[in-house]
Amino acid sequence: MFERQVYDLQGQELRRLFVRGADMRGGAISDSRLRGVDLWNLDIDGDIRNVRVNGVDIAPLVEAELDRRDPDRAKMRPVDADGFREAWSNLEARWAVTVERARSVPESSLHEHVDDEWSFIQTLRHLCFATDAWIARVALGEPSPWHPLDLPWDEAPGWDGVPWDRDVQPSLDEVLAVRADRQALVRRLVADLTDEQLTSTVTATGPGWPPATDMPLERCLRIVVNEEWQHRRYAERDLDALNDQAAP
Neighbours of 217 (CB within 10 A): 22
User: Which tens digits make up the pLDDT trace of 202-237?
Assistant: 998 777 899 878 899 999 999 999 999 999 999 999
The larger pLDDT score, comparing residue 213 to residue 57, is at: 57
pLDDT band at 103 (very low <50, low <70, confident <90, very high): very high
E-strand ranges in the chain read: 52-53, 56-57, 201-202, 215-216
CA 142 – CA 152 distance, rounded (Å): 17
pLDDT at 185 over 90: yes
Query: Is-contact 171 107, C-beta < 8 A?
Result: yes
Question: Where in the chain are the domains?
Answer: 76-246
- Report whether CATH 2.40.50.140 matches the domain 76-246: no
Task: Report the pLDDT averaged over residues 29-37.
Answer: 80
pTM: 0.86
Q: What is the pLDDT of residue 248?
A: 63
The larger pLDDT score, comparing residue 139 to residue 32, is at: 139
User: Which tens digits make up the pLDDT trace of 62-97?
Assistant: 889 988 999 999 999 999 999 999 999 999 999 999
How long is the chain? 248
Q: What is the pLDDT of residue 13?
A: 75
Q: What is the pLDDT of residue 102?
A: 97
